Copies of this chain bind each other. A is one copy, B any other.
Amino acid sequence: MVKHMKMEKKSIETQENILNAARIIFAKKGLSGARMQEIADHAGINKALLHYYYRNKEKLFEQVFEEAFKKLIRPLGAFLTDDSELFQKIRNICKLYNEVLTKYPFIPNFVINEMNIDPSRILNLLDIGGVKEGKIKTAIQINEAIKTGMIRPIDPRELILNIISLSVFPFASRPISEQFLYKDEDMDEVLKSRADGVAEFIIQSIKI
């Protein structure tokens, strides 16, 4: 990306291999637990080449983290800026989070944990996907729905946090939930088929 004029085929493929390996290893072991050697092995290359493409561990991690963080926040932004009617919006975000997290199940745990270790990591990434304005907009919409008697009174932020909790936590807590709740079952299938139930659970809880 930086020091080569011609971007050859093999080179791009290698960089993609590195990123894929980094995604897997970092998500599994975190920044401090991941080893550059392991990432190189997983990418099918050697350490020298890994450092040839990515200056250092921190830079590689930043790229992987930023990408994961966006994947986690964008559905929230999509929900908050969604113009649909409230109940439909709720169905939409449940479905969207379910799709995204089925595809990238390690993201919630990974992002939350690294943010916990170093909250400053997020500083360059505020206001992604229009969350800021969307939040205000959706809060107004919820308060309207309360006024018109469509839903019972509830703090908009509480409702939003409940929606996210129900959508995201089962993925983040998978190893625990699997052990204590869904032992011997296909947790992938369980999680995938949750989306509709979650949306109805939320709607039931607020509608009058």
Chain B nearest CB from A173 CB (Å) reads: 6
Selected contact of A33 from candidates B30, B73, B106, B157, CB within 8 Å: B30
**Interface-side segment among A15-23, A52-60, A81-89, A194-202:** A194-202
Say yes or no: B175 contacts A170, CB within 8 Å: no
- A76-B180, A116-B175, A166-B166 given; name 14 further pairs at CB < 8 Å: A28-B117, A29-B32, A30-B117, A32-B33, A33-B117, A72-B176, A112-B173, A115-B175, A122-B175, A122-B179, A152-B204, A158-B201, A164-B173, A201-B205
Question: For the complex formed by this chain, how many copies does it contain in all?
Answer: 2
Chain B nearest CB from A157 CB (Å) reads: 5
Say yes or no: A131 contacts B180, CB within 8 Å: yes
Binding site for B on A (CB under 8 A): 28-33, 72-73, 76, 106, 109, 111-113, 115-117, 119, 122, 126, 131, 135, 152, 154-155, 157-158, 160-162, 164-166, 168-170, 172-173, 175-177, 179-182, 194, 197-198, 201-202, 204-206
